[in-house]
């Protein structure tokens, strides 16, 4: 029996790496298009270093029939997607499209696959016209549902942390790693008791992989989440236990001004309550909550990975993160919070 073959587009990142592990363990032959200079030592895994273009894809499709394609690309311009989506759907048995849980509005709790989306209920026209992540993904979803085919699966991952990215509300890895220097970290008071839309990427990647070649996933959408539903304050406590991190909960306006997070991510996602119902996903994959590795284990594993690989930590230091770090220091000193 021939091995199942799958193509991961832009698939060497946070989710793609963990999905690849599960796919290989379950008998797939995996091709990954990415910009990284990776070498594979597994005969069933091939890295293709290239930009994802229609020309490249047509060349691959002339050589291979893919049982499944997972598209990890982000299409900021919704008008780009119909031509690309048609090309992919015509050359595979199943297309898995990476959307995001950020498409959901804050109108139904817990959040389910049928929950209202921002695109459908929001009156903020400036946000709808300018936002280049959640709103375009909703437009791509709409096109898939209206394209006349059903060999697609929509996945909406929650925030999926790994050594590539750590997330605590909108605070990223470089600010979290202030703890290693004995420095305190700012978080927004208004998010403290909100459910965090967060999972370890090892769980999210495996859940996506279990939808590949899955007949129950055809023409369906799934929120990709481990279903742990911790509050942001509980996630902060996990970092305190893991690395001694100390947090200062400040007004949301101060957090936004000083930590300079993306306004769309903060006010149209992290300040929403993200209590996720993942029962549809578990039913389709056959997994249970007990099968998840879990956020606490993931935090310890990824921090250990960073501790052993200084080069990974160095990637987080940019002119922007250094500037934010200095602003946090100044805020803490000015308000006598040290």
pLDDT of residue 260: 81
DSSP-assigned states of every residue in 151-188: -EEEEEE-EEEBTTB--BTTB-HHHHGGGGGT--EEEE
Read off the pLDDT of residues 41-100 as tens digits, 9 standing for 90 and up.
Answer: 999 999 999 999 999 999 999 999 999 999 999 998 888 999 999 999 999 999 999 999
Read off the pLDDT of residues 193-215 as tens digits, 9 standing for 90 and up.
Answer: 999 999 999 999 999 999 999 99
> Where does the pLDDT of residue 26 fall: very low under 50, low under 70, confident under 90, or very high at 90 and above?
very high
Query: Would you call 296 exposed, middle or buried from its count of C-beta atoms within 10 A (0-12, 13-18, 19+)?
Result: middle
**pLDDT above 90: residue 21:** yes
Distance, first Cα to last Cα, the chain: 64
Closest CA relative to residue 87, chosen from 7, 5, 3 = 7
Q: Alpha-carbon distance 288 to 306, whole Å?
A: 29
Which CATH number is 78's domain given? 3.40.50.720
pLDDT of residue 288: 95
pLDDT of residue 192: 98
pLDDT of residue 2: 64
Q: Taking residues 209-237, report their average pLDDT.
A: 98
Read off the pLDDT of residues 237-294 as tens digits, 9 standing for 90 and up.
Answer: 999 999 999 999 999 999 999 998 899 999 999 999 999 999 999 999 999 999 999 9
pLDDT of residue 283: 98
Q: Taking residues 221-237, report their average pLDDT.
A: 98
Tracing tokens 């959901």 back to the chain, one arrives at 104
Read off the pLDDT of residues 242-258 as tens digits, 9 standing for 90 and up.
Answer: 999 999 999 999 999 99
Query: Furthest-apart CA pair in the chain: how many Å?
Result: 68
SS (H, E, C) 31-71: EEEECCCCCCCCCCEEEEECCCCHHHHHHHHHHCCECEEEE
Read off the pLDDT of residues 121-172 as tens digits, 9 standing for 90 and up.
Answer: 999 998 998 999 999 999 999 999 999 999 999 999 999 999 999 999 999 9
Residue numbers of the domain that contains 122: 4-334
Q: Alpha-carbon distance 211 to 224, whole Å?
A: 10
Continuous segment of H or E residues that includes residue 265: helix 263-265
pLDDT of residue 267: 95
Q: Alpha-carbon distance 184 to 187, whole Å?
A: 10
Q: Alpha-carbon distance 80 to 126, whole Å?
A: 21
CB 224 within 8 A of CB 200: no
Read off the pLDDT of residues 108-132 as tens digits, 9 standing for 90 and up.
Answer: 999 999 999 999 999 999 899 899 9
Number of domains, the chain: 1
> Where does the pLDDT of residue 1 fall: very low under 50, low under 70, confident under 90, or very high at 90 and above?
low
Tokens of 273: 């309550």
């Amino acid at each position: 029996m021939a091995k199942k073959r799958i193509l991961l587009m832009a698939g060497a990142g946070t989710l793609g790496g963990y999905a690849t592990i599960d796919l290989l363990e379950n008998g797939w032959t995996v091709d990954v298009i990415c910009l990284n200079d990776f070498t594979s030592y597994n005969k069933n895994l091939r890295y293709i270093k290239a930009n994802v273009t229609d020309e490249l894809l047509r060349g691959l499709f002339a050589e291979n029939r893919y049982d499944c394609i997972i598209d990890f690309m982000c299409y900021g311009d919704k008008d780009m997607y119909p031509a690309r989506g048609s090309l992919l759907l015509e050359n595979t048995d199943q297309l898995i499209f990476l959307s995001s849980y950020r498409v959901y509005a804050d109108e139904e709790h817990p959040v389910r696959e049928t929950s209202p989306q921002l695109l459908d209920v929001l009156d903020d026209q400036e946000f709808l016209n300018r936002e280049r992540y959640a709103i375009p993904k909703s437009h791509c979803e709409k096109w898939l549902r209206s394209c006349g085919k059903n060999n697609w699966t929509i996945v909406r991952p929650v925030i999926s942390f790994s050594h590539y990215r750590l997330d605590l509300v909108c605070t990223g890895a470089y600010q979290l790693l202030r703890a290693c220097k004995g420095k305190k970290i700012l978080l927004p008071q208004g998010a403290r008791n909100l459910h965090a839309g967060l999972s370890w990427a090892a769980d999210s990647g495996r859940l996506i992989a279990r939808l590949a070649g899955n007949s129950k996933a055809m023409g369906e959408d799934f929120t990709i989440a481990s279903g742990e539903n911790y509050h942001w304050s509980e996630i902060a406590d996990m970092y305190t236990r893991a690395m001694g991190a100390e947090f200062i909960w400040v007004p949301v306006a101060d957090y936004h001004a000083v930590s300079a997070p993306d306004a769309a991510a903060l006010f149209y996602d992290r300040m929403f309550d993200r209590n996720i119902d993942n029962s549809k996903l578990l039913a389709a994959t056959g997994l249970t909550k007990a099968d998840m590795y879990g956020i606490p284990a993931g935090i310890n594993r990824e921090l250990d990975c960073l501790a052993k690989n200084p080069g990974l930590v160095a990637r987080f230091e940019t002119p922007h993160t250094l500037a934010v770090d200095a602003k946090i220091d100044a805020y803490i000193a000015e308000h006598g919070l040290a």
